[in-house]
Amino acid sequence: MESIFMTIFTKTELRPGAYYDSIILMQLQRSLAKLPGVTDAGVVMGTPANKDLLKEGDLLP
């Protein structure tokens, strides 16, 4: 029986006062997802709704 181990790594970067257009965020997400070893990536603005989702997923520091 073969064991498969996956390491989950989360990087949270906060940039107070910054604004990025949704197209830029999607391009960044796509670029991150193409990096070796990355299976999924997400990039969001810090709207109240997004912050709630990140808190629910334990993704905020």
Domain ranges in the chain are: 22-56
pLDDT at 57 (0 to 100): 86
Going by pLDDT thresholds of 50, 70 and 90, the confidence category of residue 11 is confident
Between 58 and 34, name the one with better pLDDT. Answer: 34
- End-to-end, the C-alpha distance of the chain in Å comes to 37
pLDDT at 49 over 90: yes
pLDDT at 12 (0 to 100): 82
Q: Are the beta carbons of 61 and 10 closer than 8 angstroms?
A: no
